[in-house]
Structure 1
Amino acid sequence: MFLIALAVVFGMHATWALLTPLGGSPDETAHIVKAAGVAHGQGYGEYVDGTQRRAFTIPTGIRAAVDKVECTALRSNAPAVCDTVTTGGPDGMITVNSTAGLYNPVFYVLVGWPALLGDGDAAVYGMRLLGALLNAIFVAAAIACLSLLPRSRILILAALGIMTPTVAFLGGMVNPNALEVSTVAAFSAALYVALTVRARGRLLWWLCGLMAIAGMLGLQVRSLSPLWFFVAVVLISVIAGWRACWELLRRRQTIAAIVLVATAGIAALASTLSSGTLAQLGDYEGQGTRWDVGLRVTLFTFFEQVPPMVGAFGWNDASIPDFAVVAYLVLVLALAATAILGTESPRGRIAVLLALAAVPILPAIVQGGSVTNSGYIWQGRYGLALVTVFVYVTAFVARPVFERLRRVMQDRLLAVTIGIVALAHATGLQILLHRYGSGIESEYSTLLFSPAWTPFGLPMLVPVLGVWIVAALWAIGAALLVQAGDREREVEMKTIDDSALDTGPSHAHADTVTP
């Protein structure tokens, strides 16, 4: 299960990584410079102007690789061709500023080391593919966890479906945004399974190990990451109830995981406070606005942030068609309605309602807290980890309701959802190629027969047709994973619900789980 999921998720991330010109995603140039600088021993770079901008000395070839497209940023009708000449020093190094300078260096340590093996395009593509693999490992681990539960088809599909075109796009870039999503996903899945399957022995060690690794790394990704992990813990605990939580907390495996995650959290907090990241977010439109005004504006414009969560490419200057956004929104709201109206668990209903409220409210609170000093900086993609928690929690609660449907209805809903997600990815990749190949406003025939840029110099027909093959393979892989979740598991378990909890503590035991 894990290897199939790894191939499916990595394949999609890698496709976005290879078909997007270097530096062709939001702030990627800054992240590439930071990663190369960290690889060369410069954790936070050198002081520049008192903001988050810091200077790093990196190989000239890496800077030249991203200079090829940076001139097209925010110009959606400009193909990925820049007449830029990058000249470094005699030692082959160049000093470059990065607005990601004060970010926690852990992510950049993990993906930046290809800069030590060479410079130029190959090193940057290496960074991208490392990031894609890292994201895929955590998503695949989440799917492997969920597959331990019987009748887990809807859970596996939710784990795949939340990988929207935006998430897949960012997961193939040098950008920590997607890693925040994947680590939260793995942590949430492991925590829910640990509470639902009263695991012992090796299984509990495995689940707590995944929670520890995902938590330790996830807390280092962005300054807001601890908030999303906290929300996941609270909401999943609400579903499980205090007895199940207490039973899990008493286990030595859980205690070990808590100690490790808490230590990492303290380290992340120390990094944030010592670097001054929160006080140096930059100067943006709306700076000086009162906090309550910033909160209201962000809250009332929430639905403007939904399309970028589904499909925004380039430097957020190319978007997926509205039909795909509407389709995703309908799927998510239908899942939420199923959970709220169909569940027999009051705790489950409360958890979903809290999650639904958190998705627009928490970003508004965060933006309200920073708008006076920095202006309006919130973007939809910053809340993708929170949306992931919402979708996971909703799927957890909706699972028993879904299983009460007739089998033919289940199969149809799953097939339609897989088809929508695959079509959205293929459409998004086509838009990306159009935006960078010939400009988003150009005729499609121009893209096909006389593009200004193509991936690796290939005839444009190759990637244009290739994305449909990738989408079809993704759909087949997703279908195999979902169907595998239909098999019963040979595991003694006690499903968490009110009636079960009233009978007292469970003595179910599960050292091994066999597909």
Structure 2
Amino acid sequence: MHQKRPHASRPKLSFPVVFAILGLLTTIWSLASPLLSVPDEDAHVVRAASVARGQLIGIFNGQQSEKTVVNVPRYLAHLDDGKCYEFKAWVTADCAPPLDATDNGLEAAGTSAGNYNPIYYLVAGLPTLFLSGAPAVYGMRILSGLLCAALLASTMCAAGQLRKPKWPFAAALVALTPMVLFLSGSVNPNALEIAAAAAVFMNLCVVLENHPGLTAVRLNILMVAVSGALLANTRPVSLMWLLLAVAAAVFSYGYRPLGRVLADRFSQAMIAVLGAGCLLSLLWLVKAQSFKSLVGEPLDIDPSTAAAIMLDRTFDYATGYIGFMGWLDTRLPSGIYIFWYFTMAVVLLAGITSRPVRGRWGIYLLIIAAVAVPPLMQAKVVQELGWIWQGRYLLALIVVLLLACGVALRFKPFPKSLWARSAAKWLLATAVAVHTYAFVYVLRRYTVGLDEMVRWKEMLDPAWQPPGTWQGLTLAYLMVMAAGAVLAYRYLFLTAKQPVLTAQPASPGRHAAVSQ
């Protein structure tokens, strides 16, 4: 005789639910930021509109800092007129003239992204084919944000597929900084680069961990190929991030699982897809001279000196990992940085002290790269372009580093005590508050300006309002963030009850009957 007994099992992450939450957050950010308020967004908008119309490459003279000339709708040809608040945190966004949605004739325009790889722009520019004016730009932002949200959701769900998933999932939450969401709600391939790098690393970890039975993780193998090909074709340096993400995953699991993966036929097909994507990226990089489109002012400084200065500034760029909004003119309040410095430091310290030691090698590789890459790259271009490095340029690598720390912790039991649950509630509640504070602070910058004489109460009579009003967007953002935090807590600490069959011991009378 058998009876059912409840058995505890971990709940599973639902991709549609995670995608919906992240997609709503990126969409709200896309509406909250004034048009062209994200670094280089005007250049990327022009590039996307031209690529969507079949102009993969424009007219470029091959000289550094010179813009590429392309043909775009006239309402996008003079976007510089709307950047009146650029680098002026005290100037509100109402100074920008509206885009004329009726002015759709094609006109030549310059863009510093004119010879960047067209893959991202082909997708981002689609809304300009059936929308015009401001709705077209908002549509580009929303579509780009949804693409990033899909990759980030894939990352989180992949973390949930690991045999010990909770530390990797917690690390993924820490990696989701305000800057990641802010960039995802804009027209900028930097956001796709970050999301794709995270998806490559975490899905590859799932594949390597399940190397004895790869049939069960074919979707993850496919995601590694697709996200890897996308990553290779985002920005000129993205091939480096792809290489580091793959290497970090392999270092975390060892070479023996990699051998099993390489021997699998489906994996071989997906490796061919990834290889084709990398080859296309290299061909474009050489043919289009993508590194020749950077904009800056030359400096008469020795490259070795520039590298030494950049090395000294290593931690100065950390604000860009958390949030340096607008055209690098809006630093967030110190409390926001303190919270993320604390959580990042905890994840990093836990990762580099994890056991077994072999799980740390990927972390060490990424730390070395995070310290060495900015000085090397800045030194290479300082005499042509001056100081161009920004913290967000390294954010793809930082996100992968945090994820690698979570993966290294997978052997450590996840705490389930009452104290741990209470601490998690406080941390998640604080994260919601900090995210929302960063969001509304950016809105404050554009609605009333950041000035010593301007107070929060003046937002009751704002000079500029985003679509849906700043009040409506802030409330929506808070609600979605809170819902995400509740779901994260439930995943980390609550278990699903599933009935299992257990054998009921036979009574002595039954044994007697059988023996007779």
TM-score (norm: length of structure 1): 0.87
Aligned length: 483
* 2:73 paired with 1:59: yes
**What is the 5 A alignment of 1:327-366?**
327-341=339-353, 343-366=354-377
Q: Would you say the 8 A contact 1:165–1:310 is kept in 2?
A: yes
Per-residue deviation, 1:127: 0.5
Secondary structure at the counterpart of residue 278 of structure 1: helix
* 2:406 paired with 1:408: no
- Sort the Cα spacing of 1:90 and 1:2 in 2 relative to 1 into closer, same or farther, 3 A: closer
Per-residue deviation, 1:96: 1.7
**What is the 5 A alignment of 1:50-449?**
50-51=63-64, 52-63=66-77, 66=79, 69-82=82-95, 84=97, 92-198=105-211, 200=213, 202-284=215-297, 287-341=299-353, 343-403=354-414, 405-441=415-451, 443-445=454-456, 447-449=458-460
Q: Would you say the 8 A contact 1:294–1:368 is kept in 2?
A: yes
Cα separation, 1, equivalents of 2:266 and 2:426: 40
Greater alpha carbon shift after TM alignment, 361-370 vs 425-434: 361-370
Secondary structure at the counterpart of residue 222 of structure 1: coil
Q: Which runs of 5+ in 1 are unaligned?
A: 490-515
Greater alpha carbon shift after TM alignment, 473-482 vs 119-128: 473-482
- Structure 1 counterpart of 2:408, one-letter code: V
Cα separation, 1, equivalents of 2:304 and 2:496: 51
Q: Would you say the 8 A contact 1:28–1:174 is kept in 2?
A: yes
Cα separation, 1, equivalents of 2:320 and 2:61: 32
Greater alpha carbon shift after TM alignment, 365-374 vs 36-45: 365-374
Greater alpha carbon shift after TM alignment, 234-243 vs 462-471: 462-471
Greater alpha carbon shift after TM alignment, 26-35 vs 461-470: 461-470
Q: Which runs of 5+ in 2 are unaligned?
A: 1-13, 499-516
Per-residue deviation, 1:63: 4.7
Greater alpha carbon shift after TM alignment, 354-363 vs 311-320: 354-363
Greater alpha carbon shift after TM alignment, 229-238 vs 39-48: 39-48
Per-residue deviation, 1:268: 0.5
RMSD, aligned α-carbons: 2.5
Deviations 1:251-290 (A, max 9, x none): 11221222111111111011111111224423335x3422
Per-residue deviation, 1:460: 4.5
Per-residue deviation, 1:380: 0.2
Per-residue deviation, 1:414: 3.4
Q: Would you say the 8 A contact 1:181–1:384 is kept in 2?
A: yes
Q: Would you say the 8 A contact 1:151–1:488 is kept in 2?
A: no
Cα separation, 2, equivalents of 1:261 and 1:102: 22
TM-score (norm: length of structure 2): 0.87
Deviations 1:192-246 (A, max 9, x none): 0111123535423212101000011110001111111111122221121121221
Q: Would you say the 8 A contact 1:434–1:447 is kept in 2?
A: no
Could you say which structure has the larger radius of gyration?
A: 2
Cα separation, 2, equivalents of 1:312 and 1:166: 7
Look up the match of 2:504.
none
Greater alpha carbon shift after TM alignment, 138-147 vs 71-80: 138-147
- Sort the Cα spacing of 1:202 and 1:73 in 2 relative to 1 into closer, same or farther, 3 A: same
Secondary structure at the counterpart of residue 44 of structure 1: coil
Instruction: Give % identity.
Output: 26
Per-residue deviation, 1:477: 3.8
Deviations 1:136-179 (A, max 9, x none): 11111112222112341222222232121111000000011111
Q: Would you say the 8 A contact 1:68–1:82 is kept in 2?
A: no
